[in-house]
């Protein structure tokens, strides 16, 4: 692996609410260490950032489970009226996988959803300051 490598990007766009307009989480590996870069995009172009160090063994376990995922070429995703649009991009050595869904992940994407949920749980909420 390279010295600085983007492993995955998760973008969460809520359909409503007073929180961030969208949140981007990037799982990055730097010299064998992992961190989660979190950026909350807010109204009027402002944003907040944080970097969260992660335990390498935990990340490697999550990646190993993600590698077991099996998704059909045309996944069926339930229709929902609200919630959030989730978009997960996994960066491979010579390829990229991008999967998006509204609130409920597509059939067969349990491992992908579990990975997205794990990333979301690791991202600490950034204090919401209205301004």
pLDDT in tens, 9-28: 999 988 776 666 889 999 99
Would you say residue 128 has pLDDT above 70? no
pLDDT of the residue at 129: 45
Torsion angle, CA of 12/74/60/121, rounded to 10 degrees?
30
Task: Quick: pLDDT tens for 28-86.
Answer: 999 999 999 999 887 777 788 999 999 999 999 999 999 888 888 888 877 777 788 99
pLDDT of the residue at 41: 83
In 65-130, where do the E strands start and end? 84-91, 96-102
Q: Report the chain's mean pLDDT, rounded to a whole number.
A: 86
pTM, 2 dp: 0.84
Distance of alpha carbon 69 from alpha carbon 64, whole angstroms: 10
Determine the CATH number of domain 4-122: 3.30.1560.10
Would you say residue 131 has pLDDT above 60? no
């Amino acid at each position: 692996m390279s010295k600085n490598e983007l492993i995955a990007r998760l973008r969460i766009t809520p359909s409503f609410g007073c929180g961030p307009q969208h949140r981007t989480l990037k799982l990055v590996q730097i010299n064998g260490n992992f961190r989660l870069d979190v950026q909350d995009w807010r109204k009027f172009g402002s944003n907040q950032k944080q970097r969260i160090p992660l335990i390498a063994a935990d990340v490697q376990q999550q990646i190993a489970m993600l590698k077991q995922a099996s998704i059909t070429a045309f996944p069926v995703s339930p229709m929902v009226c609200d919630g959030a649009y989730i978009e997960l991009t996994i960066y491979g050595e010579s390829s990229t996988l991008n999967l998006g869904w509204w609130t409920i992940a597509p059939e067969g994407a349990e491992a992908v959803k579990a990975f997205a949920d794990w990333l979301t749980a690791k991202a600490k909420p950034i204090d919401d300051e209205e301004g």
